[in-house]
Amino acid sequence: MLSLWKVSKTSGVFEHTKNSLLEFFSVCKSFGGVKAVDGCTFSVGNNTITSLIGPNGAGKTTIFNIISGLTKPDYGKIKLLDSEITGLPAYKIAQAGISRTFQLTKVFRNMTIRDNLLIAKKASDGEMKSALARVHLHKPLDMAAGELSYGQQRLLEIARAVLREHKLLALDEPTAGVNPQIRQELKAILRGLKEKGNTVLLIEHDMEFVMNISDEVIVLNEGRVLKRGKPQDIVKDKEVLEAYLGK
């Protein structure tokens, strides 16, 4: 099983390798009496596609909200490269280099595609068209976002995330609600982003998609990391099958 974390034989403290882009160490978050994230530790390798999976209530969205600054952890540390971002406001984390999408599409339907993209970055029409091309969305910039299909709106949201200056793309269920054609396009899109040096962390429930696209899979259960490893190992793991697939 691939791990970007190792335990020091002398101190017992987790140490990161040079390939780590994001480090999430001993993070805890409770809401009332419910522990949504319970001492969670993992890292994301640079220039990889890493999938975060687990049953409902495993803590996936809370972890994304902590990473992007929408939720402050009760305990623990988060680092992006060599900079600690723990507890910073969302706008500072975005400035530090984390660009994310959400489970529910958040495009401005009454605005044009151009204006939706300009929210992410003041860019030329050429830059915006390039961002759209990278997500296979070939629509005029003056078209209203509300005229796009739901799947195309998802692609627009990813284009906006790509356009923003970033070190990490955090994509929350990019295949949710999209048709099979766009789901297949998303595989090519993510592979293309990786080829251009992007690092992607995604939450996803489509296991065929996860196993086909990921370099590494992190399995959560009850706010903790249950397993992490290559897709071909995760899909056969007995504990994962019991916790996630109910077998």
Whole-number Å distance between alpha carbons of 149 and 137: 11
Angle at 237 between CA 233 and CA 238, to 5 degrees: 170
Answer for the pair 24, 40: CB distance below 8 angstroms, yes or no. Answer: yes
**74, HSE (Cβ side, Cα atoms, 13 Å):** 14
Bridge pairing between strands 49-53 and 216-221: parallel
5-88+201-245, what's its fold?
Answer: Rossmann fold (3.40.50)
The per-residue b/e assignment along 22-58, b for 16 or more CB within 10 angstroms, e otherwise, is bbbbebbbeeeeebbbbebebbbbbebbbbbbbeeeb
Closest residue by Cα to residue 223 from 100, 99, 93, 66: 66
Query: Would you list the domain boundaries of the chain?
Result: 5-88+201-245
Q: What is the pTM of this model?
A: 0.85
Beta strands in the chain (DSSP E): 5-7, 14-16, 20-31, 34-45, 49-53, 75-80, 83-84, 98-100, 168-172, 200-203, 216-221, 224-229
pLDDT value, residue 89: 95
Answer for the pair 36, 30: CB distance below 8 angstroms, yes or no. Answer: yes
pLDDT value, residue 176: 85
Orientation angle between helical segments 150-163 and 180-195, nearest 10 degrees: 10
**Residue 129 is encoded by which pair of tokens?**
């068209």
pLDDT in tens, the chain (247 residues): 333 334 333 333 344 455 889 999 999 999 988 999 999 999 999 999 999 999 888 999 999 999 999 999 999 999 999 899 999 999 999 999 999 998 777 788 899 999 999 988 899 999 999 999 989 899 999 999 999 999 899 999 999 998 988 999 999 999 888 888 888 889 999 999 999 999 999 999 888 999 999 999 999 999 999 999 999 999 888 888 887 655 5
Answer for the pair 55, 240: CB distance below 8 angstroms, yes or no. Answer: no
Q: By CB neighbour count within 10 A (0-12 exposed, 13-18 middle, 19+ buried), where does 85 fall?
A: buried
